[in-house]
Structure 1
């Protein structure tokens, strides 16, 4: 039977979290899925732990060279056979009803792209921040200001918009992909119910917004070919929105 949903996961040195991620997929109430886990030359036990789960729906691809998350996701997309495509990073977890809820929303509402709210926990999956509640009705013009579409709870209909490859945009590839999709469709829709847990790791938080400011500017100036004034304007808006998103963040170990 052809899978209805294809799940794409890039993996790199995720031995500490990958088993929890896999179990969250196996716990899904919607079962007609395939899962492409693409290992990007991990040097830890990630591959061993993935292979320990003997489920024919899980397919492991091992890249020949370390190529980054964008290439890993694209390799999974190339192999995907499901009509609906969704992404899950190797340290995050889904609620058991995520696939069922997102799939039903797309089918019943005849939408192309949907995403859900999510919980924000620390590395040990303890609550850290209030839930991120997804903003509805995201258009191309709206997404230029910042990226309100989370990778871990998004699903799109490839039969209606085609398979969308991850653009080669350094550190901003997921944002660039949503931009590409929103060039094709009127809007993306949101599910207000939190359907996943995003694991906020100290290493990811230490990479603050200013460190990737130039990368974000390049999205506007090079990827979208906007003017210097427009690129500066949108970059400043993106930075301000990013600081607001995490302004109350306190790691338990630093209290």
Structure 2
């Protein structure tokens, strides 16, 4: 274990949005508390939950001063909740963890060491899909060694709960004000600046598959992706069509590069 701690303990801000997450968020917070890397702050912004999520968050915040909780004045979606947490963050590194996902204990340790070794401003890791009740472990999504803008226009290769960026180098970068795929827009914005994101091929996060989060309407997905390319990425008409064709085959039909 000693080799994991050969880098300075830079502060990491963990960005977590919550909305009606009372059944899952305890596991998520516990996975941060269990990190071998301990110089972190977890900034949770609740998006006006209507269940007991806020009461649960208050209990955790009372037990550990590194857990800081905020509440939006009105429901605005996970992007606005994440942006509020980014605004309140003090860390050199900003990492993302959704309220139903989990980190393995060495996630922060290994990823920060990797970023410093590679001089990376944006990194991500491999992750495993798990069932809602955590009883079934499904496929591992393998991190590509690097992704650039060409890759990202085909598909979002960066799992949100695996991503981390260097705020000391980049400054704070916020998610676009859209209801879906805010993380996708953020990675693209950063890659515009730094050209490459670096992938660490180690399974360090667990992504919980929840039935209600799966969309089966491919026509709505296509229409939204068209607007995403035009308004968020800022592509012209020709590039939007070209990217949409790539995205359609890479994402909708699950056709991926060999490195995926």
The CA distance in 2 between the partners of 1:72 and 1:208, in whole Å, is 26
Normalization by structure 1: what TM-score? 0.91
Residue of 116, 120, 145 corresponding to 2:129: 120
Q: What's the RMSD between the two structures over aligned residues?
A: 1.8
The CA distance in 2 between the partners of 1:134 and 1:77, in whole Å, is 24
Q: Cα distance 1:207–1:162, how it changes in 2: closer, same or farther (>3 A)?
A: farther
The CA distance in 1 between the partners of 2:223 and 2:191, in whole Å, is 23
**Equivalent residue for 1:250?**
none
1:207 Cα deviation from its structure 2 partner: 4.7
The CA distance in 2 between the partners of 1:209 and 1:115, in whole Å, is 27
1:220 Cα deviation from its structure 2 partner: 1.3
What does the per-residue CA deviation read over 1:9-32, in whole Å, with 9 as the maximum and x for residues that have no partner? 000000110111111110000000
Alignment of 1:150-169 (within 5 A): 150-169=159-178
**Equivalent residue for 2:25?**
18
The CA distance in 1 between the partners of 2:15 and 2:234, in whole Å, is 29
**Equivalent residue for 1:176?**
185
Q: Mark the runs of 5 or more structure 2 residues left unpaired by the alignment.
A: 1-8
For the residue of structure 1 that corresponds to 2:120, the secondary structure is coil
Tell me the matched-pair count.
Answer: 246
1:154 Cα deviation from its structure 2 partner: 0.7
Q: Cα distance 1:143–1:112, how it changes in 2: closer, same or farther (>3 A)?
A: same
The CA distance in 2 between the partners of 1:241 and 1:127, in whole Å, is 26
Q: Mark the runs of 5 or more structure 1 residues left unpaired by the alignment.
A: 248-255
Alignment of 1:200-215 (within 5 A): 200-215=209-224
Normalization by structure 2: what TM-score? 0.89
Where in structure 1 do 4 or more consecutive aligned residues deviate above 4 Å?
none
1:244 Cα deviation from its structure 2 partner: 4.1
Q: Cα distance 1:126–1:232, how it changes in 2: closer, same or farther (>3 A)?
A: farther
What does the per-residue CA deviation read over 1:152-195, in whole Å, with 9 as the maximum and x for residues that have no partner? 01111011111101111331211111110001102110111110
**Conserved? CA contact 1:209–1:242, under 8 Å:** no
The CA distance in 2 between the partners of 1:185 and 1:144, in whole Å, is 16
User: Which sits farther off after the overlay, 72-81 or 170-179?
Assistant: 170-179
What does the per-residue CA deviation read over 1:51-77, in whole Å, with 9 as the maximum and x for residues that have no partner? 222110000001111111111011000
| Pair 1:98 & 2:107 matched | yes
